[in-house]
Amino acid sequence: MKKMVLASTSTIYGSKYLEYLFPVIKNLFSNSKNILFIPYARPNGLSHKSYTDLVNDTFDQLNLSVFGIDDFNDPVENINRCDGIFIGGGNSFLLLDSIQRYNLIRPITKKVNSGTPFLGTSAGTNICGTSIGTTNDMPIVHPSSLKSLNLIPFNINPHYIDPIKGSKHMGESREIRIKEFHKFND
């Protein structure tokens, strides 16, 4: 059975990084000693090391041990040796491109499908669907395909908000864009 928590964001207004998820994270990773963090989405251009350090400092507050996928030479071996996975937010295109480039789709899906606890936030949630075709992100890089981890049988738009009634905005809403996607991709 899969053990997954898919969150729309890592930070909510007025709180620190992941703070609102602390009880959920403690429960999800209660039996995990080696949690792997995958920093490839790089929010605001953060380096992999800086992003991993942020997560490590945060998880330290929960007495949880984290290592970054770049901490050792072989990313696939790092996936195989972990007993928990966290993929953080940032840019979904950059994240998926990196995961594809390092041939990590199969190892990640195998690990999560076998019951390894998984936390995704924002882009880390977005890539759990069948594709990233409904993301709000800018395509700053171009992955070989938009197909993603397929851990759940549908797509997610983690930052979806309903249109504001009475708004004077004349652009397309997220709802319209998602309907357009499904018209050509179902």
Catalytic residues: 122, 137, 159
- Would you state the torsion angle of the CA atoms of residues 61, 63, 68, 73, taken in this order, to the nearest 10 degrees? 150
Nearest to 115 by CA among 83, 143, 71, 92: 83
Distances (CA, A) of 181 to 11, 22, 136, 186: 28, 34, 12, 8
HSE-CB of 131 using CA atoms within 13 angstroms: 12
Spatial contact of 151 and 132, defined as CB atoms under 8 Å apart: no
